[in-house]
Structure 1
Amino acid sequence: MAVVEQVKKLTSQGTTMAVVEQVKKEYDNCAVNYNDYSSLPFGQLESQLIKIALGDCAGLTVLDLGGGTGRYALEAIDLGAAIVDVVDISPGMLKIGHEIEKSLSRENTIRYFEADVSKPLSHLPLHENGYDVVMANWIFSHADSMEVLEGMFRNVVGYLKPGGRFVGVRDSNPTSPAILNAKYGAMYKWVKKIPGGVKFLVMLSCTPPIEFEGAALEIIYSGSTEMHERFGLTDVEVVPYESTEVVQKDPEFWKLFLERPNLAVVKASKKME
């Protein structure tokens, strides 16, 4: 039996979708301090990996699913993107993004929309002809069932132009020692098994600390490309950690992480029609 079918069978036996209002509440509560994550070791590594994955964005249109305050939307603009549309479930996070754009005296360079990225987004004024790049950073860490995960992939691929680039951060190894202590600025305070995957409580070492619950399915954190390929993504690859400046400058510091990485930045392309 294919991994997808195995997980479907398990998740249909009682695991329900994450409660939308709870997710909103958690991210609204941490919205003000969330960008502090970028100063933590994990945040620096993640940012550099995403920048490498995005590459040259000159003149491109970008959709950032689960983009929060627009941290990586701003990165895409710095890399040359013409416009970025951010979709996120947290009004608190989106408000901060709006405020950043306002402070820059820009209009319609980065647009912010509130929605659940696991559900159809046809009610939003997104680009009908699709986007050159679709980002989905950490959204799969809120997929506790195949139904939710499939909804996310439908939006990723549905809004990506043929030949377009996908970039996303995902969980890699939820039992990695690198995430079971706070050496790199983030840790799981607990990890529990759920059908087809795990649920966990994340703590980010911001000031004050940020906590929120997440969930990930094995079909994602195992490194399987089955879901990507099933929805029409090809050339799926993980950006090498050693390609980042932070790892190159201090490989000894990153040794524990590199032995069993707990996060991965993935890039892929949508098949040409």
Structure 2
Amino acid sequence: MASDPVDKTQFQTLAPSYLTVNQLPYSQLQGQLIASTLGDCTSLSVLNLAGSAGFHARRAIVDANAALVDVVDISAEMIRSGQSSTEKRLGIEQAKRVRWYEGSLSYPFEIPNLQQEYDVVMANWLDIVRHLKPGGKSIGARALNPKVGYLSAEKKKGKYGMMVADVEEKTEVRGKGLRCLVAALTEPERFVRTSLEDSMLMRD
């Protein structure tokens, strides 16, 4: 398998401060969209791909009453941060309804102990087809468009707390181009991720 285009070490310093990204206007808008789309998930299983610190996973438990949420993320540091935050916010017993798995989504992934199918999958990734039950629900929030001025890192806008820029070296993996995100935290943080080109440009 080819090496992963996303550098996992970037999250070692980002993980602690990333918890505050949920306070940004962009994140609050995205969170409201996700919560309203989840609806009632009582007795349902949810897969959250690229789940970072578990913001949407906790929404699935608290707002939608999901029975189980499995979070997959590339960063062990982000997972540890999410586990700690989830236990503090939900309590130890409720936090057991959220399970965490380390894995990259840049290529087709095989993760031991991950369920074969889920009622709901949250992500903009082709792999959801492999894990979504027939008749299940797929949720993906398309809220970052680098072509609009208020999200352009080059134009120094960042009106909603998140900016998008192309990385210097163009790379594509399975139709996903690398993008650099700039989060306006206490200290601005830059990190690179892969994203579906059509999703980033709001194309259907």
Question: Do these two structures clear the TM 0.5 threshold for a shared fold by scoring above it?
Answer: yes
State the Cα distance separating 1:221 from its structure 2 match: 3.0
- Paired with 1:66 and 1:110, the residues of 2 have a C-alpha distance of 14
Aligned to 1:169, the other structure's residue is in SS state coil
- Paired with 1:200 and 1:64, the residues of 2 have a C-alpha distance of 20
Larger Rg: 1
Aligned-pair identity in percent equals 35
After alignment, is 206-215 or 81-90 more displaced? 206-215
Cα 1:184–1:160, aligned 2, differ >3 Å: closer, same or farther?
Answer: same
Q: CA RMSD in A?
A: 2.6
Aligned to 1:74, the other structure's residue is in SS state helix
- Paired with 2:87 and 2:54, the residues of 1 have a C-alpha distance of 13
The one-letter code sitting in structure 2 at the alignment partner of 1:203 is: V
Cα 1:83–1:219, aligned 2, differ >3 Å: closer, same or farther?
Answer: same
Cα 1:217–1:101, aligned 2, differ >3 Å: closer, same or farther?
Answer: closer
The one-letter code sitting in structure 2 at the alignment partner of 1:59 is: S
Instruction: Give CA deviations for 1:73-93 in whole Å, capped at 9, x if unaligned.
Output: 000001110010011110001
Q: Of residues 115, 119, 123 in structure 2, which corresponds to 1:127?
A: 115
Normalised by the length of structure 2, the TM-score is: 0.81
Structure number with the higher helix fraction is 1
Pairing 1:170–2:149 present: no
On the 8 A contact 1:192/1:200 being kept in 2, the answer is no
The unaligned stretches of length 5 or more in structure 1 are 1-15, 141-151, 226-273
Give the match for residue 188 of structure 1: 164
Aligned to 1:64, the other structure's residue is in SS state strand
Relative contact order, higher structure (CA 8 A, sep 6+): 1
The unaligned stretches of length 5 or more in structure 2 are none
Q: How many residues align?
A: 192
Q: Of residues 156, 161, 166 in structure 1, which corresponds to 2:128?
A: 156
- Paired with 2:65 and 2:181, the residues of 1 have a C-alpha distance of 33
Aligned to 1:202, the other structure's residue is in SS state strand
Cα 1:182–1:101, aligned 2, differ >3 Å: closer, same or farther?
Answer: closer
- Paired with 2:195 and 2:132, the residues of 1 have a C-alpha distance of 23
